[in-house]
Structure 1
């Protein structure tokens, strides 16, 4: 019987054995140059927050629609990863992470194949997240005033850019990344290509209809990053830009997919302390976005602050107030968040309970009172690493 047959039999046996193990145990099978690992985690959240429905623009007090919301969210993640290597140091790795969500939905986090060598060069294809240029620390619950997001742009709301529009896991888009690590240095060039109209989570951009003729092209976003980690310090910088002209246009014919962003981070991690300082800037069509972030973690206690300053140059003029989606000018979003981690609850290894909360405000230089747009929330998270 050849080695492939032996591995196939062992694979079947390992799957059967996995279901007979205690829930808290990772299972790894190794046979020479082959390794197969099963794991995962359970993450369940009980949330209380004040939200904005997103049905109206946030810059007009009479349009702000909010409400207190109590719900439960979460998922069970299963992790299956494998590797086959050679004596010369070459390898092929894969990972798949299916999700079972508490609302009955199904999804997937990572699903990729990587090919590399002991010299530190790797090619990765599939669905994954590239290097994080704006880490939030222990981000148990981080929300923003105006229903903002680091990955979606909603017209008439605030936007907190975090150099993550091309990081990955972008809808139906494909991903390819080439990276190289040697000593204290890491460099990568990640790409995200395909339909990216889902970046705009509304039918308008500055009041102008997005993709009115339904003829969007496939985007091609390239995202190079360089990171240097001497000891406890990490300094990283990168950018992301779409190389396809007129991939997404509005009713004027303006290329609103022409978005170029930059990000940098300085991190320090030593003993009980972890610190991150982040800066990102986005040059979009008739809009600039600048975001600053600072967070710290000490012995399970985390705190963070994010400031986003945006400037919109032009919006579609309306014949009456109902036509106005957004306002030109400058606005800023300030968010404070905190968290605490209770580790190994009841002396059960890898069973944790997290407390998280945030408070966020938004201001516009031409709007006197946006207090109704303040957003806040608290979360109780149960996390169990399988």
Structure 2
């Protein structure tokens, strides 16, 4: 009884000074995938994998200002453990700063991409080199600015080198400014990114840049995404141009991805991949579902006189608890 009274007293004082806090939120879910992949160049492979995801988040406010934090840990079925998100965000409704490990705005959304297997190892550029969740040697600092209900900006940076091949002597190895304009009928986003740092050897130097544009809109009850992205690698003189379009309606989704490589030497392969997925409830149990998904991909000019096709299927069980 004394503890309850004390808690109420503390809460009343906090509210009096304009300070509000909610209890941390804890969530978790498990996901198990059973896959079959058949490729012309690699035969048929079978695999089962999955993970348990543990999430914790919290936020506090003081007047118009806030601080929030989120952490997510993945426990994989192969026995490994990794961190998905881990960040702190500080600011207000007009601007904020985000620091840690996270994903910036998506400039190449794929919709319901439960499984997407591209044939021939052809590169697909998705405007995500500096999007975030950097490697072991990198971190992130992002600034988010909301100019109005329709217009917002984000500047995301990679602090340090993105992966272990870098020499760790570059403060900001990646930068990714984006702009989003939203109306009642369509949302448009565009961005530029560059990743540049010296590697531990000359062969591992990185100097890449790219642009991406995406549009999202509704067509009846369906959500549609259409995207374009182009990347240039100044170290290898390679250009990758990619396109995507997808539709999601209720529990069904489908999409298509096309990509072309323009290489300084050798072949210039291209790939066209289609995919679909449908989610069903499990015995009408809340938060339990099974998703049936597949993708078909065809690559041309992978090597001299060689094409490739890949057919992949996946059954995914998911349960949130």
TM superposition score category, shorter chain reference: 0.7 to 0.9
> Quick check: 1:222–1:243 contact (8 Å CA) kept in 2?
no
- Give matches, 1:207-226, under 5 Å: 217-218=169-170, 220-226=173-179
Task: Please give the residue correspondences for 1:79-228 in structure 2 after superposition, counting only pairs within 5 Å.
Answer: 79-86=55-62, 88-117=63-92, 119-147=93-121, 158-172=122-136, 173-181=138-146, 182-197=148-163, 217-218=169-170, 220-228=173-181
3-state SS in 1 of match to 2:283: helix
CA distance in 2, matches of 1:128, 1:197: 15
Report the Cα distance in structure 2 between the residues aligned to 1:273 and 1:170, rounded to whole angstroms: 33
1:350–1:232 Cα change, 3 Å: farther
Does the 8 Å contact 2:228/2:242 carry over to 1? yes
Which residue does 1:359 correspond to in 2?
A: 296
Alignment partner of 1:43 out of 31, 37, 52: 31
Offset at 1:50?
2.5
Q: Which has the higher strand share?
A: 2
TM-aligned CA deviation for residue 350 of structure 1: 2.1
What SS class does the counterpart of residue 129 from structure 1 fall into? coil
Aligned length: 306
Q: For 1:380 and 1:359, how far apart are their aligned partners in 2?
A: 15
- In structure 1, the partner of 2:14 is none
CA distance in 1, matches of 2:221, 2:289: 17
1:302 maps to 2:253: yes
Shift of 1:51: 5.4
- 2 CA distance for matches of 1:346 and 1:366? 48
| Residue correspondence of structure 1 range 321-340 to structure 2 within 5 A | 327=266, 329-340=267-278
CA distance in 1, matches of 2:44, 2:277: 21
Superimposed CA distance per residue, residues 114-166 of structure 1 (whole angstroms, 9 cap, x where no aligned partner): 1011x33111101000000000000100111134xxxxxxxxxx211111111
Which deviates the most, 119-128 or 267-276?
267-276
**CA 1:139/1:48 → structure 2, altered by over 3 Å: closer, same or farther?**
same
**Structure 2 equivalent of residue 383 of structure 1:** 318
Q: Give the alignment's TM-score, normalised by structure 1.
A: 0.73
Determine whether 1:268 maps to 2:205.
Answer: no
CA contact (8 A) 1:336 1:360 kept: yes
Deviation string, structure 1 residues 55-99 (Cα, Å, up to 9, x no partner): xxxxxxxxx5x131112111111110001111x211110001111
- Cα pair 2:108 2:212 within 8 Å, conserved: yes
TM-score (ref. length: structure 2): 0.87
Q: Give the counterpart of 1:279 among 228, 232, 235.
A: 228
Checking the alignment, whether the CA contact within 8 Å between 2:120 and 2:302 is kept in structure 1 is no
The alpha-carbon deviation at position 193 of structure 1 amounts to 2.5
Unaligned runs of 5+ in 2: 12-18
